[in-house]
Structure 1
Amino acid sequence: MFANDILKNNQTFAVIGVSPDPEKYSYRIFKRLLKNGYQTYGISPRYENIDGIPIYPDLSSVPAKIEVAVFVVNPKIGATYVTQCQEAGVQYLWMQPGTYDDALIDTLSQSQIPYVLDCILQRCPEK
């Protein structure tokens, strides 16, 4: 129920690790959130825009307060983004399958930011 409440009660999302490749889950998540009416920001130091939508190199560059950060990055760099989320005051972290390991779960627990370990695409049906 917690994951569904996050989707119901929050409007501003960041997709960390977004890619312009339509075959990648990060792209699908980014587009699904946008299509479903969420204010969605892509985070990636590799790209300036995706389909004409600005992409930001890090959370501190986003011109809005992010409520939910959706992680679609390798667990080895996830801790860096957890720190960025703490600094930006992100309220929830949503970790996609394959984006976390035991070390990152320890980091998540220490961050004291509530987190979800689940596929957001299954919780956020296409509208």
Structure 2
Amino acid sequence: MDNIEKNKKEMLDKKVWAVVGATPNKDKYGYKIWNVLKEHGYIAYPVNPKYEEIEGEKCYPSVEELPEKVDVIDFVVPPKVTKKIIEQADKVGIEYLWFQPGTFDEEIIEKAEKLNKKIVYYDCVLAELTEK
């Protein structure tokens, strides 16, 4: 089993996630991923400085302001935003980072690897959870 598969399995076993780029717009992946995690029994904190809340749940402006340390950050934002959040994640000691398609570039993967993060990329949480 390669590292990505191993990381993916470990991440899906973790129960506390942050969805960076969560949105109240039900047509967007930021909403769908946040929602599918909750439907599957995960604690999923929405992170997006544009919103105060999503469906009555407090939405946090950054991962540094979450009420507890999450196990996994799922990225649903453009690469330039992802880059900033990796630093926040490192500051608060979050080890697992899941990059949705379109949220990363080579520089981001290199940076995450340099910081010794366990990462998944090219895979979609939504696809993983809805296939089960």
Same fold? TM cut 0.5: yes
CA contact (8 A) 1:20 1:27 kept: yes
Question: Following TM superposition, by how much is the alpha carbon of 1:91 offset from its aligned partner in structure 2, in angstroms?
Answer: 2.0
* TM-score normalized with structure 2 length: 0.90
Distance 2:131 2:24 in 1: 19
The match for 2:124 is 119
The match for 1:55 is 59
Equivalent pairs, count: 126
The match for 1:39 is 43
The match for 2:92 is 88
Distance 1:93 1:116 in 2: 7
Gaps of 5+ in 1: none
Q: Percent identity?
A: 36
The one-letter amino acid of 1:122's match is: A
The match for 2:77 is 73
Distance 1:66 1:87 in 2: 13
Distance 1:44 1:107 in 2: 22
Distance 1:91 1:111 in 2: 9
The one-letter amino acid of 1:98's match is: G
Distance 1:44 1:6 in 2: 21
Deviations 1:24-64 (A, max 9, x none): 00100000001111011010110010111110000111111
Question: Following TM superposition, by how much is the alpha carbon of 1:125 offset from its aligned partner in structure 2, in angstroms?
Answer: 2.1
Gaps of 5+ in 2: none
Question: Following TM superposition, by how much is the alpha carbon of 1:126 offset from its aligned partner in structure 2, in angstroms?
Answer: 7.2
Deviations 1:7-32 (A, max 9, x none): 12x11000001111100001000000
Distance 1:112 1:29 in 2: 25
